[in-house]
Structure 1
Amino acid sequence: MHRARKRFGQNFLQDDGIIYSIVSLIQPSAGMHVIEIGPGLGALTRPLLRNLDQLDLLEIDRDLVAYWNQQNLQGLKVIEGDALQFDFLAWAKNPEGRTGLCKVVGNLPYNISSPLLFHLVGAAKEIDEQVFMLQAEVVERMVAAAGSSDFSRLSVMLQARYDMEQVLEVPPEAFDPQPKVNSAVVRMIPRQDFNLNDAQWSALEKVVAAAFSQRRKMLRTNLQAFADRIQLTETELKARAQDISVDRYMEWARILAA
Structure 2
Amino acid sequence: MSDHHAKKQLGQHFLHDAAIIDRIVRAIDPRPGERIVEIGPGQGALTIPLLRRHGALTVIEFDRDLLPGLARIDAESGALEVVNADVLTVDFTQLARGSRMRLVGNLPYNISSPILFHALDHAGAIADMHFMLQKEVVDRMAAEPGSKVYGRLSVMLQAFAQVTPLFDVPPGAFRPPPKVDSAVVRVVPRAPGSIGVHDARLFAEVVKAAFSQRRKTLRNALAPLADADTLRACGVDPGARAEDVAVPRFVALGNALAQRRSGTMTRG
**TM-score of the two chains, using structure 1 as the length reference:** 0.93
2:225 matches 1:226: yes
Give the aligned residue type for 1:90. Q
**Alpha-carbon displacement from aligned partner over 1:79-127 (angstroms, at most 9, x marks no partner):** 00001111112112445xxxxx620000000000011111111111221
**Alpha-carbon displacement from aligned partner over 1:136-180 (angstroms, at most 9, x marks no partner):** 000000000011111010000000011111101000001110000
SS in 2 for 1:146: coil
Please name the residue that 1:110 is paired with. Answer: 109
After TM superposition, give the deviation of residue 235 of structure 1 in Å: 6.5
Please name the residue that 1:245 is paired with. Answer: 246
After TM superposition, give the deviation of residue 188 of structure 1 in Å: 0.5
Please name the residue that 1:4 is paired with. Answer: 6
After alignment, is 61-70 or 222-231 more displaced?
222-231
Give the aligned residue type for 1:39. P
Gap regions ≥5 residues in structure 1: 96-100
SS in 2 for 1:145: coil
2:12 and 2:146 map into 1 onto residues whose CA distance is: 34
SS in 1 for 2:23: helix
SS in 1 for 2:53: coil
After TM superposition, give the deviation of residue 254 of structure 1 in Å: 1.0
Give the aligned residue type for 2:252. E
Give the aligned residue type for 1:80. N
Q: How many correspondences in the alignment?
A: 251
Taking a change above 3 Å as real, the CA distance of residues 246 and 42 of structure 1, as seen in their structure-2 partners, is same
Matches within 5 A, 1:66-81: 66-73=68-75, 74-81=78-85
SS in 2 for 1:130: strand
Asked if structure 2 preserves the Cα contact closer than 8 Å seen for 1:92 and 1:123, the reply is no
Please name the residue that 1:184 is paired with. Answer: 183
2:97 and 2:50 map into 1 onto residues whose CA distance is: 21
1:210 and 1:2 map into 2 onto residues whose CA distance is: 43
After alignment, is 242-251 or 70-79 more displaced?
70-79
SS in 1 for 2:237: helix
Matches within 5 A, 1:1-258: 1-73=3-75, 74-95=78-99, 102-192=101-191, 193-197=194-198, 200-228=199-227, 231-233=230-232, 236-258=237-259
RMSD (Å) for aligned C-alpha atoms: 1.6
2:96 and 2:245 map into 1 onto residues whose CA distance is: 33
After TM superposition, give the deviation of residue 237 of structure 1 in Å: 1.3
After alignment, is 227-236 or 19-28 more displaced?
227-236
Asked if structure 1 preserves the Cα contact closer than 8 Å seen for 2:166 and 2:186, the reply is yes
Asked if structure 1 preserves the Cα contact closer than 8 Å seen for 2:142 and 2:165, the reply is yes
SS in 1 for 2:24: helix
Please name the residue that 1:98 is paired with. Answer: none
**Alpha-carbon displacement from aligned partner over 1:23-61 (angstroms, at most 9, x marks no partner):** 001111221101000001111100000122420010000
1:183 and 1:111 map into 2 onto residues whose CA distance is: 13
Please name the residue that 2:266 is paired with. Answer: none
